[in-house]
Amino acid sequence: MAALYACTKCHQRFPFEALSQGQQLCKECRIAHPIVKCTYCRTEFQQESKTNTICKKCAQNVKLYGTPKPCQYCNIIAAFIGNKCQRCTNSEKKYGPPHSCEQCKQQCAFDRKDDRKKVDGKLLCWLCTLSYKRVLQKTKEQCKHLSSSSRASLQEKEQFSRLSTGSHYNSQKTLSTSSIQNEIPKKKAKFDAISANGDSFSPDLALDSPGTDHFVIIAQLKEEVATLKKMLHQKDQMILEKEKKITELKADLQYQESQMRAKMNQMEKTHKEVMEQLQAKNRELLKQAAALSKGKKPEKSGAITSP
């Protein structure tokens, strides 16, 4: 009986082939808790729920320091303290200032002074290294699938050729001499033309090797990946520019609102002062008018009593 292994999530026992290679998860747990990228630091983590889009480390940092800002080197929105993310800060302390990444052309690749740690001899940043390794893994899997399918098709062709040679042996026997005589001058002329041009002729060139199709497919996939990366980088740059514009507009709006509030407060204050001055002047004028009216009354009475 085959040995059974426990899933790391639901702890049910399954055969070894039914569990994932890395985290030893069953099919149901892989569907319920997929591997996703963190919204902030872009590291992969196992999603506990559909609403959970950030990893545990970033969730803790959000509680402590608030929403992060884009890193000044890699542009990843993971700068909780200062203007640099923790990954770039540690790499700068360890390896010195960053260099230009050969893939995305940003100043976020750190030279480790070790060619073995480079990806195909290229100096790449962290994000480009991950995407490059992921593409290589996918191409390897596709090559394995294509090689297995090509082997199966070759086996089918061999079986078909064996069956066909057994059934058509007599008909091929009669046509052998005439076809050979017709083919010899054609092949000779072709060989002479190739030798006259200076090209070396080898019998292997006449055969279609099954690996050439694989190389063509891999080259096409690499070109598609490069164009997709370029488009993704352009869109990321557009998103960053829009986010910067939004923050600038928010800051401008906040500044205008504060200026408007200050202006309104100043106008209210001046209006209050003017009103107080007018009220004081009005009271003074009322007093003067009362005094004048009192002075006029005795004059009128005196004028009436005199003979």
Query: What is the tens place of the pLDDT at every residue in 184-195?
Result: 454 445 445 444
Looking at the domain assignment, is residue 74 inside a domain?
no
Looking at the domain assignment, is residue 261 inside a domain?
yes
Does the pLDDT value for residue 159 go beyond 90?
A: no
Does the pLDDT value for residue 145 go beyond 70?
A: no
Say what the pTM is. 0.41
Count of domains for the chain: 1
Amino acid identity of residue 35, one-letter, is I
Looking at the domain assignment, is residue 265 inside a domain?
yes
d(C-alpha 125, C-alpha 131), whole Å: 10
- Domain holding 262, by residue range, is 224-285
pLDDT of residue 132: 82
Does the pLDDT value for residue 135 go beyond 70?
A: yes
Nearest-Å Rg of the Cα atoms of the chain is 43
pLDDT tens readout for residues 251-306: 888 889 888 999 999 999 999 999 999 999 999 999 988 888 887 766 555 555 44
Looking at the domain assignment, is residue 97 inside a domain?
no
Does the pLDDT value for residue 224 go beyond 90?
A: no
d(C-alpha 163, C-alpha 158), whole Å: 9
Could you tell me the two tokens for 268?
A: 């209210």
Give 168 or 50, the one with higher predicted confidence: 50
Looking at the domain assignment, is residue 255 inside a domain?
yes
Looking at the domain assignment, is residue 259 inside a domain?
yes
CB atoms within 10 A of CB 196: 8
Looking at the domain assignment, is residue 75 inside a domain?
no
Could you tell me the two tokens for 283?
A: 């009271």
Looking at the domain assignment, is residue 260 inside a domain?
yes
